[in-house]
Amino acid sequence: MESFLVNNDRCICAAPTVDPKIHMKQTPIKLLLVDDDEDSRRSSAKWMTRKGHDVIDVSNAAEALTLLQRQTFDVGVFDMNMPGMSGMELLQRIYQEKIDIEVIMLTGQGTVETAVSAMKLGARDFISKPCALGDLEHHCFLARERHQLRKENKQLKAVLSRTQPAAKLIGESKSLRGVAKMIDKVAPTTKPVLIQGESGTGKEVVAKAIQQASRVADKPFVTVNCAALPENLVESELFGHQKGAFTGATAEKPGLFEIADGGTLFIDEIGELPLALQPKLLRVLEDGSLRRVGCHRERKVKVRIIAATNRDLQTEVDSGNFREDLFYRINVLSIALPPLREREGDVDRLIEHFLPKSYHMDPAAREVLNSYPWPGNIRQLINVIERATILAENSDITLDDLPAEIADYGLTAKPANPDAATPDASNDATVSNVPASRTDQMLGDSNFRLDQITRVHVLAVLEKEKGNKASASRKLGIHRRKLYRLLDRFNGSEQTATDDQGSHCESALD
């Protein structure tokens, strides 16, 4: 609030000296002038237009309110006393409808009391008429600067609540290097990007990498997952809504497009976007125009769109589930992410990245993780590592700490040497029939794996202890909980061993 000098109940605002060189570097102000004094209004509008600003002037508050409900302005300059709806009443309507604009009040009969009332309703300045046109422009610049700061503050708060720290691409496989090269090419542009790949391949990580390498890296990066939202809330989430637009809309809410204005909006699982909303998204992509739910006023945003999907959108277009024009609009630049099973050597690098430094992974467990096909891709691998760190004893991760379907995959997988001397040595059903008395004969025989010898030894000790698991775990020197996990895995492998090996591998990929 500017300082006031009160003289005979007149309120005078002291304006600082104007430096035109600074203002010349400012972008034009979108200004609404409202004054019933035609000479004053026209001279002010003419001055501000000559200075390069975008000015609309009207003579009454009712017309101004209609404009405010349809268009956006940076600053409004309102005369306090006008016939019909006064400037104060117009300010109150703006306050009630939460119209986003900075307001400067003009009056020839201002008092401290009226200034305080105007400030409570959201006015940013209160200046007396007549006012030097240079001073008026200066106050408009100050108001527009406050408007921009408030908008950026709102965006920052929204971004902090919605986003997580970005992650880097992990791996050095040929296919991942191709993705990295594509990111370097598309990042500097402002064109939409479509990221395609199976679930869990890291589409959001790639989207963040694009944003970080773009010209708007310091601007908002906002994400939305269409598959995670009920269909009736997707429109409100993307485009926002006005108070009372539908049941439960107790307050106005800006949409994610407004929050991401000037930055990047990542739309994950865009293939799940309801068909009825696709034309509305297409319009934002075409000219940046949108309307909140329940609002007739059009807003403009400038947002870069990065979309992602695990569906084949061309197939969706052919089946009528996705608009062809929208598909072509978002598919200007495309990045295809390879599944983890096609990224040779990257599983080891991902294990090293996500495994806490205090943990050690047994070579046998690491070998199984490298051979597993990972239908859930990187997300599944991360979950397996987190589970193993919880179950592992003494920070040593072994096969027993892996999920049964992954550990069993290692047990039933085809051996590297199919011509091994011992027939079906890799088959757990064969090993389970080896007498316990022959456990010592298996030691040192390279045709048997460590997990096979472990199985025979554990079952032999349990048989010797007459099925007493507590006693057997003490003899084996392991925790009883670990013994239970071993026995569960042995039982599971006996069942899977009767299945065809090819069928097992196929089910693991489903």
User: How far apart (Å, rounded) are the C-alpha atoms in residues 381 and 351?
Assistant: 8
If you ran DSSP here, which 8-state letter would residue 393 be given? B
CA distances from 91 to 30, 34, 279 (A): 18, 11, 35
Interhelix angle 404-412/363-371, nearest 10 degrees: 90
Concatenating the DSSP letter of every residue in 411-447 gives HHSPPS-TT-SSTTTT-HHHHHTS-GGGHHHHTT-TT
pLDDT score recorded for residue 502: 40
Q: Among residues 6, 35, 243, 255, which one has the least CA distance to residue 112?
A: 6
Kindly report which listed range (40-54, 362-376, 421-435) carries the lowest average pLDDT score: 421-435
User: Hey, do 4-149 and 342-509 end up sharing a CATH topology, with the first three levels equal?
Assistant: no
Asked if residue 60 lies in contact with residue 83, where contact means CB atoms within 8 angstroms, the answer is yes
pLDDT tens-place string over residues 2-59: 333 333 333 333 444 444 444 434 688 999 999 988 888 899 999 999 989 999 999 9
User: How far apart (Å, rounded) are the C-alpha atoms in residues 51 and 138?
Assistant: 12
pLDDT tier at 441, thresholds 50, 70, 90: low
Q: What is the mean pLDDT of the chain?
A: 81
Superfamily name and number for 174-338: P-loop containing nucleotide triphosphate hydrolases (3.40.50.300)
Classified by CATH at the fold level, domain 342-509 comes out as Helicase, Ruva Protein; domain 3 (1.10.8)
Mean pLDDT of 398-411: 82
Asked if residue 296 lies in contact with residue 254, where contact means CB atoms within 8 angstroms, the answer is no
Asked if residue 397 lies in contact with residue 389, where contact means CB atoms within 8 angstroms, the answer is yes
pLDDT tens-place string over residues 281-300: 999 999 899 999 988 888 89
pLDDT score recorded for residue 306: 96
Q: What is the pTM of this model?
A: 0.57
Contacts with 236 (C-beta within 8 Å, 6 or more apart), sequence order: 245, 246, 249, 253, 255, 293
User: How far apart (Å, rounded) are the C-alpha atoms in residues 378 and 380?
Assistant: 5
| CATH ID of 4-149, from 3.40.30.10, 3.40.190.10, 3.30.200.20, 3.40.50.2300 | 3.40.50.2300
The domain spans of the chain are 4-149, 174-338, 342-509
Q: Quick one: three-class SS letters along 88-129?
A: HHHHHHHHHHCCCCEEEEEECCCCHHHHHHHHHCCEEEEEEC
Q: Among residues 392, 399, 397, 429, which one has the least CA distance to residue 504?
A: 429
User: How far apart (Å, rounded) are the C-alpha atoms in residues 504 and 414?
Assistant: 11
More confident residue, 472 or 356: 356
pLDDT score recorded for residue 130: 79
User: How far apart (Å, rounded) are the C-alpha atoms in residues 179 and 183?
Assistant: 6
